[in-house]
Amino acid sequence: MTMTDKKRCAHWILFLLFVFFIGTPDLLHATQPSNRFKLTSNDDCLVCHSDESLSMEKNGKPLSLYVDEKVLGVSPHKKLECISCHDGFNPEDLPHKEDIKPIDCMTCHKDAKIKHLFHPQIFQSNSNSTGKDVNCKSCHGTHDAKPYKNIARSSSILVCAKCHVPQNNEYNAGIHSYGLGAHEKPSCINCHSAQITKGSFGSDKVRLKTAQQELCLNCHIDTPENKARFTVNKGFIPEPTKNTHSKLIASGNGEAAGCVDCHGSHKISKTDDSTSTVVAGNILNTCGRCHADQKKEYEGSVHFDAFAKKIKDAPVCSNCHNEHKPLDVATAKVCGTCHEPVELSTEYALSNTKTKVFKNTYHGLTVKGDVVTVSNCNSCHGSHAIVDSEKPASSVNKKNLQATCGKCHPGAEADFASGNIHKTPGKVKKPEVKQTEEPGTSWSGTFLMIGLIVAGVALLIGLVKIIRKKKSV
């Protein structure tokens, strides 16, 4: 075979191969499926899917297959091809197979598991969940997917409300919804992006309440940053970790009250709102959920009698126990907030001197010196069950004083407590003796009269001498 023949043969072989591959494109794509998919553009898909009437039946219900090109064009996924998310099938097989593999958003969003701890059913980590099925598109949408920054604000409330209707209604009735500016009010995401629900920690109440407290303090702790951050300058808490409840939680007591236990979760009302859990009219029941014995004692006191009569100044739990500060002992300082002001003593016929005088007694001075073992107000009067001294049940009733004093002074006899407890013993002044004699009958009166007579005679003699001198001149 000549060289020319060889060249001609080679040309024919190349020509036949070219015709073969051009005429059998399926064979080419069968060997290189990934390249085939890359050749398919969104425009190809929209040839059919831009038809608003395009639909299919799934699980006995019609399912729209329409895609709005304008919506897709402003989506965060606008630069992606349809087949970047919809894969696992041959897009040129028409119609497409019905059992197309579900879209796996976590193929790209690998950190979603960390960001979405409040919806574990998304990742099938909670197979026992009985709630509504939740997946990425339930919140973010599909072709109209919204960026996180648009969901994190107030719009997240509308998204979450689609499933969490009762919680949304409570939130709308609370201070976080109506009491703050649009840029200040916390949304669902602001709170629930952290682990703060019971399902997050199982039976570990300490970790749950610690997490809830830390979340609330992000905004409510008293710092210059928070005061500059919010226009509402109320509700800031100084030294929150030093109050009694916080100390108990920190020590491992999961039964101690946390923020949510007192204030609620979604419906948090202002402290002067009649529906608030911590308003004066409701705080007794709020505290009573944990302190049932103390509530029962209080209901037998003079303070409760005033509370039941709806007297506005009647003391309740929060008047004596500051819930956000270290617990104060019920000394004259605390009791004096009601028992010293003249306005209250006048209005309610209370003595406004007893607490003032008590501070100068042996007990009062010792308490002032930070001696905690000495008697203070509640040592004698009680704390929650304070009863009128005229009633037999009162610890300071005359018949009970010996026993009351005997708690600190064993062997105290009946006359031990006979004195005035609120006064300090001092020097006894002798009573002034009233004059019973008639004027002039006493020695002092006699001397006074003699003195007056002598002075009168001397004056008279002086005048006579002066007259005589004038006549002789």
- Convert the pLDDT of each residue in 159-192 to its tens digit: 888 888 999 999 999 988 876 665 677 888 888 8
Domain assignment of residue 71, yes or no: yes
Rounded to an integer, the average pLDDT of 334-340 is 85
pLDDT of 15 higher than 80: no
How confident is the model over 402-416, as pLDDT tens digits? Answer: 888 888 888 877 777
Last residue in a domain, options 101, 121, 136: 101
Cβ neighbors of 121 (< 8 A, separation 6 or more) are 129, 131, 133, 134
- CB atoms closer than 10 angstroms to residue 52: 11
C-alpha–C-alpha distance, residues 437 and 448, integer Å: 15
Which of 425, 446, 462 is where one domain is finished? 425
What is the mean predicted confidence (pLDDT) over 433-455?
Answer: 57
Give how far Cα 325 sits from Cα of 81, 221, 240, Å.
59, 12, 7
Find the Cα–Cα–Cα–Cα dihedral 160, 161, 165, 168, rounded to 10°.
90
Q: What is the DSSP letter of 329?
A: P
Whether residue 204 is contained in a domain is answered as: no
Give the integer Cα–Cα distance in Å for 74 and 88.
26
Higher per-residue pLDDT: 264 or 358: 264
Q: Sorting pLDDT into bands at 50, 70 and 90, what band is 259?
A: very high
In angstroms, the first-to-last Cα distance of the chain is 195
Write down which residue in 405, 425, 445 finishes a domain. Answer: 425
Token output for 308: 């039941």
Question: 329 or 205: which carries more pLDDT confidence?
Answer: 205
- Region 190-199: mean pLDDT is 83
Q: Are 235 and 179 in contact (CB under 8 A)?
A: no
Range of the domain at 78: 17-101
Structural domain includes residue 319: no
Give mean pLDDT, residues 357-361.
Answer: 79
Residues 6+ apart with CB under 8 A from 143: 67, 68, 71, 72, 75, 77
Nearest-10 Cα torsion for 148, 149, 155, 156? 50
Q: Is residue 391 part of a domain?
A: yes
**CA atoms of 397 and 412, how far apart (whole Å):** 16
- Looking at residue 122, what is its pLDDT? 59
Say whether the peptide bond before residue 33 is cis (omega within 30 degrees of 0): no
Identify which has the larger pLDDT, 78 or 460.
Answer: 78
Which pLDDT value is given to residue 33?
Answer: 39
Per residue in 109-132, pLDDT tens? Answer: 888 777 776 676 555 544 344 455
- When the pLDDT of each residue in the chain is averaged and rounded to a whole number, the result is 78
pLDDT digits (tens, 9 = 90+) for 271-297: 889 999 999 999 999 999 999 999 999
- Average pLDDT (54-78) is 88
Residue 380 has pLDDT above 60, yes or no: yes
Q: Residue 94: which of 54, 148, 138 has the closest Cα?
A: 54
Count of other CB atoms within 10 angstroms of residue 200: 16
Q: In this structure, what DSSP letter does residue 221 have? A: B
In a domain, 376, yes or no: yes
Residue 97 is assigned to a structural domain of this protein: yes
- At residue 385, what are phi and psi to the nearest 5 degrees? -100, 65
Does residue 250 lie in a domain region? no
Q: Which of 188, 177, 176, 178 is nearest to 220 (CA)?
A: 176
pLDDT of residue 20: 52
Query: What is the pLDDT at residue 431?
Result: 44
Residue 318, burial from CB neighbour count under 10 angstroms (0-12, 13-18, 19+)? middle
Question: What domain count does the chain have?
Answer: 2
Q: In the structure, what pLDDT confidence band is assigned to residue 366 with cuts at 50, 70 and 90?
A: confident
How far, CA to CA in Å, does 199 sit from each of 120, 121, 129, 189, 312? 10, 12, 11, 17, 41
Helices then strands, each counted (H, E), the chain? 29, 2
Tokens representing residue 71 in the block: 């919506």
Let me know if residue 116 belongs to a domain.
no
What is the pLDDT, as a whole number, of residue 300?
93
